[in-house]
Amino acid sequence: MRNIIGKSYLRIFFYLAVFFTVIIIPFSYFLTNQYSKQALTEINDFISEKTDSLSQSFDYMLDNLQSYGLTMSQDPYISSWLKEDLETEDPLIAKEALRSLMNFMSLQPFISATYLVNTKTGNVLDSVEGIHSLAEFKDRELFNNAITHRPAFLAFQRFEYDGRSLLALIIPSAQLKENRGYLVMVLDRSLLQKYLLQNRNNGNTEFSILDEQHSIVVGDVPSEFDHAAMNRIAEESEEQFTVKIKGNVYLIHHKKIQTENWQLYSIVKLKDVSGRVDRFQSKILLSCLILLILLFIGAFWNSKRSMGRFSVLAKQLQNLFGARLQYANRTPFEEFTIIKSGLDYMMNNLEEMNSSRRNYQGLIKAEYLRHWILHGSISDAMRTELAYMTDLANNTDLNLAVFRITGYSLFCEKYDYGSRKLLKYSIGNIAQEIFMNGGYLCEPVDLGSDHLVLLFGCDTAKDSMLGLLHEAAKQIGNWLGIQVVMAIGEQGAIREDLRTVYDRIYDLTFMSFLSGESKIYMQEDYDQLVKGHIVTLDESLIQEVIGLVKSGDRDRTHKVVERLFGQLQTLPYTECKVYLNIMLFRIVKAFSKVMDENDIKEGNQFLEKFDSLTEIKQWMLKEMDQIIDLAQAQTTGGRKNELAPEIADYVDLHLHDSMLTVEEIAEHLGYSGGYIRQIFKDTYQITLSDFILQKRVDRVKELLVTSDMPIIDIAERSGFQSRTTFFTAFKRVTKMTPSQYREQTTSTNDKK
């Protein structure tokens, strides 16, 4: 069974059979449905035309009968007889009038009888029975219609006589001032129906004429149509419609008979007219089935004749690659799988050759740039590789700017971690596009936390660079609704330790709270702040306050603040003010992730609101308590759930930074080291220190397998501080040295 299924020509035949079936069967049904719709449309149009033609013919016939009746009433003998009264009554006139009636009737076959009624003499001249009195006249209903109800001039009336339903045209005598006589033409309904309706019936259509009371004047209706059904169809205003009666669907057309305000209805049972359509549909389906069988035969012959070449190709691929085609023998479709596996194997090899320069170039470039910033410099080998991706690597005039998001605590509340990463990516794209449009090299680098680094060439005037940065901040605000504080280094930063420049510029972004200005901050702004002042206090007290606030220790925080302000009281006013500004600067920087720095913006003016150090101290104690409360609220709120992934991502971004520690991560995220350790351990069931070590070892293993770099360079790229630390950690995790791991892995891959 497996061998049969595995043959290519049978498999291809099966696919073709399914394809033809999917195409032919729906198409045949579509064709039959279209034919059915077209046929029913043509039948509907035909019935509509026939109904219209019949209504015109019936109108013409009624009009002709009215004209004929007027002609009869104007005959001299008939007119004279209708004018007689008891004094002028003459038998000879009656004889001649009767002869005239017979002559007229012989020329009009639809008239079965004619009456002349003279109300003055009380006589009736009957074309069948002769003359007799009104008292002897049998058709009292007709008499009542003519005498009592006074019918409209030339109106047709239905009446019952001798168990028959008759149709009569009653013509009052118009020559007298008041009607004294009537000419009554009794029409033969059977002849009307025979010659006007039945000769137009195709065997499926029934015609019927209804009066204003919805009673049948001429014609027939299906037996299922009771009086309620007749009322139902008579209430329809459309000229054509369908109605379902007793399980059958009928197509009905109607036209108005203008002469008498009657309605002509043509009634067709759809089941009767669709029978022939159904038979033709069956013929179409049968023809499509025969065509499908012929296609099956042709597909089978063609697949069997041509698929042998694929078997040869599969055999060659299997001989060429052998066991490297991992899935070749694990499926019944062997030939197809062997060919697919062979092509996949060749394409994968080709893709792996170009992946580092095409698919992963952006990731590798970002990795190298982060390494450059966090290490302060890069090796010649790494610079050479980076030069293939960006010309910044060879630029001797390089500068660095930092875009820090203001109100980062609110930013974190508004967006989840994934959205924040995407927005920072957008900030970098906007800045890069503005610099590139200005004709300058530019590369954004995301180092995590609340800011983005921008490396750019600076071989131009300072004002031009500041203008581009201002435009970038403006467009970021317009497009993303995010406000950023920017700081920039001096030109030629590449000649210095880039890590030192980065740390200094990042600190400068917190200068915004002192002045509240929307500007680009530089080193000269900080120098201007402390210019001419020698601060003699120990800043370690500020760091101690920050550490105690992060740990949530209110009591000790209050005690250290008391000590701090005790020392401030010994300083002159000017130095005390400078120190207070520095203190606010450190606090804003430390807690920018959990507080809104706008609360203490414009530090100089802010301090002037207080009259004494005691008031400033009370404000600071209150502010520290609020920061502790806010930090606790955020760590127990929604951000706690995404803090561990953010820590892991920060580790990935700074893995090659040999100075990366738990405390450094905590500082950048705005929490205490103990807290982020606990959060990470609870989420991933591994300590943060072990996680960093494991990620670095994984990076080493990857570089050992995918590159031929020296082991010492790999250790540096993976963030190990020293050779001893690197070798000890790697062997503790893998139970082998880096050289042994590389040899073993390479040997295993070669065997595969």
- pLDDT at position 528 over 60: yes
Name residue, tokens 């600071």: 620
pLDDT at 403: 92
Q: 108-118 in b/e burial notation, b at 16+ Cβ within 10 A?
A: bebbbbbbbbb
Confidence of residue 176 (pLDDT cuts 50, 70, 90): very low
Q: Is pLDDT above 80 for 7?
A: no
Report the percent of the chain where pLDDT is more than 90: 4
Query: Locate tokens 């630029």: which residue?
Result: 395
207: left (phi over 0), alpha (psi -120 to 50) or beta: beta
- For residue 555, pLDDT beyond 90: no
Neighbouring C-alpha atoms within 13 Å toward the C-beta of 657: 20
Give pLDDT, residue 332.
Answer: 47
Average pLDDT over every residue of 196-202: 58
Instruction: Give the tens place of pLDDT for each residue, 271-298.
Output: 777 666 777 777 888 888 888 888 878 8
Contact indicator for 621, 561 with CB cutoff of 8 Å: yes
Which residues, other chains included, contact 134 with Cβ-Cβ below 8 Å and sequence gap of 6+?
117, 119, 122, 123, 124, 143
Separation of alpha carbons 74 and 747, rounded Å: 128
- DSSP state string for 236-296: --SSEEEEEETTEEEEEEEEEETTTTEEEEEEEEHHHHHHHHHHHHHHHHHHHHHHHHHHH
The percentage of residues in the chain with a pLDDT greater than 70, rounded to a whole number, is 80
Per-residue pLDDT, 4: 45
429: nearest Cα among 392, 400, 454, 396: 454
Are 681 and 687 a contacting pair, CB within 8 Å? yes
Quick one: pLDDT at residue 151? 58
pLDDT over 50 (residue 2)? no
CB 217 within 8 A of CB 167: yes
Provide the pLDDT confidence category of residue 175 given band limits of 50, 70 and 90: very low
Q: Of the ranges 171-185, 230-244, 500-514, 575-589, which one carries the lowest mean pLDDT score?
A: 171-185
Determine which of 80-84, 220-224, 499-503, 637-641 has the lowest per-residue pLDDT on average: 637-641
Query: What confidence score (pLDDT) does residue 597 get?
Result: 58
Beta strands in 683-746 (DSSP E): none
Query: CA 11 from chain center: how many Å?
Result: 37
Cβ neighbour number for residue 445 with a 10 Å cutoff: 21
Higher pLDDT, 539 or 179: 539
The strand order across the sheet containing 248-257 reads 216-219, 205-210, 262-269, 248-257, 240-245
> For 296-329, what is each residue's pLDDT tens digit?
788 777 776 776 666 667 777 777 766 666 554 4
